[in-house]
Amino acid sequence: MRIILIIAILGCHLITAQTKDEKQLRAIYDMALTNGKAYDWLNHLSNQIGGRLSGSIQAQQAVEYTKNQLDSLGLDRVWLQPVMVPKWVRGTPEFAYIETRPGLTTNVPICALGGSVATPDGGLKGKILEVRGIEDLAALGKDMIKGKIVFFNRPMDPKLISTFDAYSGCVDQRYSGAAEAGKYGAAGIIVRSMNLRLDDLPHTGSMSYGDTPVQNRIPAAAISTNGAELLSTTLKLNPDIKFYFKQNCKQFDDVESYNVIGEIKGSTYPNEIMVVGGHLDSWDLGDGSHDDGAGVVQSMDVLRLIKASGYQPQRTLRVVLFMNEENGLRGGNKYAEVAKNKNENHVFALESDAGGFTPRGFSFDCSDADFEQVKSWKPLFEPYLIHQFVKGGSGADIGPLKDDNLVLSGLRPDSQRYFDHHHAENDTFEHVNKRELELGAATMASLVYLVDKYGFGIPKKVKG
Amino acid sequence: MRIILIIAILGCHLITAQTKDEKQLRAIYDMALTNGKAYDWLNHLSNQIGGRLSGSIQAQQAVEYTKNQLDSLGLDRVWLQPVMVPKWVRGTPEFAYIETRPGLTTNVPICALGGSVATPDGGLKGKILEVRGIEDLAALGKDMIKGKIVFFNRPMDPKLISTFDAYSGCVDQRYSGAAEAGKYGAAGIIVRSMNLRLDDLPHTGSMSYGDTPVQNRIPAAAISTNGAELLSTTLKLNPDIKFYFKQNCKQFDDVESYNVIGEIKGSTYPNEIMVVGGHLDSWDLGDGSHDDGAGVVQSMDVLRLIKASGYQPQRTLRVVLFMNEENGLRGGNKYAEVAKNKNENHVFALESDAGGFTPRGFSFDCSDADFEQVKSWKPLFEPYLIHQFVKGGSGADIGPLKDDNLVLSGLRPDSQRYFDHHHAENDTFEHVNKRELELGAATMASLVYLVDKYGFGIPKKVKG
């Protein structure tokens, strides 16, 4: 009898609590879908400012604009966190062609990889050697590679449902291809664009020479997927064709830039910090709407939505707009360094850096106990078609915060179209759907609300 | 001891069965994503044929093209099913303006609703009366409405997560607005386009005059959402503005057309028929890529994928490409009529008519027992991020088949962008993502495989 009574009381309590949470989520989604700010902010970032490569005027304009917008939200504190960032400049548009025989050439679309050195002033022409990946280089050896342009042409695997998994399976070619091929005396490298679609757009992205001495660094460019197919087919017909490309990109000295940070002070646990963020820098070819303008404006809107819903966070809630995710991660590293020096207690960090597409769920980098707690919130997200709660990586910028007491999370939007736009000139505003963007912001704000309300570590304490 | 043994055997059996199903689904998805035909077929339907309004040359070309393609798949039988369809022709592009005062006009984008009569040759000009819906008409009464152009301006509700729910909440204005306003002596009607986004594209769609005598029918047009906002704002400033529009659309006599049908004969239960389908006709403004070129090519690919995977269906599997869903449903009605006359036993029908976007799941119109069985297959779809298994409507074309012994189902793709394109000139091929389309085809084929393998009614028999 007593047991029944307890169950009845518990049951009532759960029903009440559930209903309150349901209402809060509904209020957040309603506001995001009827009165969201994310889309207008993105319009400005994309169409009034544009591509925001670290160290550029546009990146600085984005710092000023987002700081002003955060200032207007009536947060408890908004500030800039200085950080030195690399400054790499693309220069004039790149140019490339396949030369089937002297005088017979076909132009193909390329772009320099971010961080690459320039070709010689007159461009670089050479025989071309197609490989499927870095692991092919050792088998081919110096004799085969020396003086040639190595063409990395392993495509993304279309069978993988998450296109990010397909990206992970290829991106080593882009990131390390030049450093590795350089060891065998290659004159330059061309990489198939990280894109599942066949089209004419080259996709840039970061690369590293590792510890290659400056004088041994070779130029690296991406070729569009159609260009890669053409080059591969042409090579099969005639292995003696030549490839020409020219780029005059340049690395300058580091310059000062900023992470942009806004904060709502926690009412009960002000020293427990929750972070939401995205990265303010982007590549220079498009306007960086999906990568990561979307994550920036969604993160900003999380604080606005929480405030506007009338909810006062118990914990301190920060939005951090990280600088230089794309080619250095200096902003993410700086934020974690300062947090450590100040002995700040971060309990939760959520990043949106996978595009402004329909949200599908979250990935979590956390303990099993915390993951169980997160999963208990799944039913609250069902009405919004948020189904995916999985363990996995979170986001590059919040990664440096990682320790055992922190739950890291990444928003997981639908990934099918992401790499059609990623780092290419068509990562532009018109490819972001307003509702999809707003649903992402509401989904993030809902998770933040639940984390703030229930905290983490409860199962651990119960067990301990 | 015996119980344990039974459980162990059952357990092993289940594990084996599961693994076989998992492999079959993986094979289907792999083929769809690496060697799908849907996208190429859609390219032809959209870019070589174009909009396929019932009774048009393009609709006839689509019949011939899809029949030829089905013929090439080595099915057991491919045939055309004759059906008489309405023939409505838009004529020259429509034209409209807001007249603030004589001589001061602003053009706005409109299009005739499908089935509407023309305006008088010189166009129709009149005072305009904005309403939020049909229910406002009675309150306003004949005195207010007579001779005016009624402007139905209730927007779709952005708070609804399924945009189809928002569409359902508005579409009565478009479908019945002219018939209802006509009863009060309106001279014509203008309807806000069924679009959640603010843009400049008018969206057509079907409408009906009900039993309104021919001489009392008034012209009906859709105005773009931006146009509707402008008109509404202008009206608030000056209720005496006039609106002018001109359209010369015309209804002709019915013409003969066809449902296109292909079939794989069932090996064990040839008289149990499973249908997959979409509709071959479309509106005339765009090329009908999402509505419903996508459903057509996905349905065709279901049969190809099942065959290519080496699976021999026990039941007869038919693809039906229905004619005239948009403005008459004649194809769906004809198919059901013929099936009834032949006393055919349909056990399952699946329609794809919600766009070629990332599939999220299915809706089912069936008994609770059959729904329980369907839900037992959910884990098999998890790796493909197919989460939504709900009870609900299926599809217009398969609706006439409905009876108690049939499971009806509709593919549920992500709905956020659907009404940006629906029935408008931007329902075009470049807005369909190849992978999203292919994932839909694979998801449909996977469900068909499971239905064929396990059948329905098993829980009923167990219970009975």
Contacts with B388 from chain A: Cβ below 8 Å: 385, 387
- Fold classified for B92-248: Glucose Oxidase; domain 1 (3.50.30)
Residue the block writes with tokens 């959640």: B196
**What pTM did the predictor assign?**
0.94
CB of A33 less than 8 A from some CB of B: yes
Contact B434/A33, CB-based, under 8 Å? no
Instruction: Give a three-class secondary structure readout of A219-253.
Output: CEEEECHHHHHHHHHHHHHCCCCEEEEECCCEEEE
CB of A338 less than 8 A from some CB of B: no
CB of A463 less than 8 A from some CB of B: no
Give Dmax (Cα) for chain A: 95
In terms of Cβ atoms closer than 10 Å to its own Cβ (0-12, 13-18, 19+), residue A341 is exposed
Phi-psi region of A315 (alpha: psi -120 to 50; beta: other; left: phi over 0): beta
Average of pLDDT values for A423-448? 98
Find the CB nearest A435 among B29, B383, B416.
B416
Contacts with A384 from chain B: Cβ below 8 Å: 161
Q: CA-nearest residue of chain A to B415? A: A358
Kindly report the average pLDDT of chain A as a whole number.
95
Contact A433/B416, CB-based, under 8 Å? yes
Q: pLDDT tens digits, residue range A75-85?
A: 999 999 999 99
Phi-psi region of A380 (alpha: psi -120 to 50; beta: other; left: phi over 0): alpha
Determine the pLDDT at residue B21: 96
Contacts of A135 (CB under 8 A, 6+ apart): none
Measure in Å the smallest separation between the Cα of B386 and chain A Cα atoms.
Answer: 9
Q: pLDDT tens digits, residue range A343-381?
A: 999 999 999 999 999 999 999 999 999 999 999 999 999
Catalytic residue among A94, A180, A325, A351: A325
CB of A127 less than 8 A from some CB of B: no
CB of B384 less than 8 A from some CB of A: yes
Measure in Å the smallest separation between the Cα of B382 and chain A Cα atoms.
Answer: 9
CB of A158 less than 8 A from some CB of B: yes
Determine the pLDDT at residue A457: 74
Chain B interface disruption, residue of A30, A161, A417, most B CBs within 10 A: A161
What count of other Cβ atoms lies within 10 Å of the Cβ of residue A403? 9
- Give the CA distances from residue B80 to residues B52, B63, B66, B114, in Å, rounded to whole numbers and listed in that order: 17, 8, 10, 26
CB pairs under 8 A between A and B: 61
Report which secondary-structure segment, H or E, holds A364: strand A359-365
Measure in Å the smallest separation between the Cα of A319 and chain B Cα atoms.
Answer: 25
Contacts with B436 from chain A: Cβ below 8 Å: 416-417
Contact B159/A439, CB-based, under 8 Å? no
ipTM of this complex = 0.94
Contacts with B433 from chain A: Cβ below 8 Å: 416-417, 420
With bands split at pLDDT 50, 70 and 90, how would you rate the model's confidence at A458?
A: very low
Strands (E), B90-182: 95-101, 104-107, 110-112, 124-131, 149-152
Please list the active-site residues of B: 325
Contact B436/A420, CB-based, under 8 Å? no
Q: pLDDT tens digits, residue range A288-320?
A: 999 999 999 999 999 999 999 999 999 999 999
Cα angle, residue A229 at apex, residues A223 and A231 outer, rounded to 5°:
70
Contact A159/B34, CB-based, under 8 Å? yes
User: Is the bond leading into B427 cis (omega within 30 degrees of zero)?
Assistant: no
CB of B183 less than 8 A from some CB of A: no
Contact A33/B159, CB-based, under 8 Å? yes
Determine the pLDDT at residue A16: 54
Chain B interface disruption, residue of A157, A434, A439, A446, most B CBs within 10 A: A434
Contact A434/B197, CB-based, under 8 Å? yes
Q: Where does A91-248 sit in CATH, by number?
A: 3.50.30.30
Contact A161/B29, CB-based, under 8 Å? yes
List chain B domain ranges.
24-88+253-463, 92-248
Residue A9 in this model has a pLDDT that exceeds 50: no
Q: CA-nearest residue of chain B to A157? A: B34
- Whether A325 is catalytic: yes
Measure in Å the smallest separation between the Cα of A285 and chain B Cα atoms.
Answer: 21
Sheet with A104-107, edge to edge strand ranges:
A104-107, A95-101, A242-246, A124-131, A149-152, A188-192, A220-223, A110-112
Average of pLDDT values for A116-139? 98
With bands split at pLDDT 50, 70 and 90, how would you rate the model's confidence at A18?
A: low
Determine the pLDDT at residue B438: 98
Between residues 58 and 87 of chain B, which touch chain A (CB distance below 8 Å)? none
Residue type, B163: T
Determine the pLDDT at residue A8: 44
With bands split at pLDDT 50, 70 and 90, how would you rate the model's confidence at A10?
A: very low
Determine the pLDDT at residue A404: 86
Measure in Å the smallest separation between the Cα of A386 and chain B Cα atoms.
Answer: 9
What count of other Cβ atoms lies within 10 Å of the Cβ of residue A120? 12
Measure in Å the smallest separation between the Cα of B157 and chain A Cα atoms.
Answer: 9
In terms of Cβ atoms closer than 10 Å to its own Cβ (0-12, 13-18, 19+), residue B60 is middle
- Fold classified for A24-88+253-463: Aminopeptidase (3.40.630)
Contact B420/A414, CB-based, under 8 Å? no
Residues of chain B with pLDDT under 70: 1-18, 458-464
Find the CB nearest B414 among A33, A388, A414.
A414
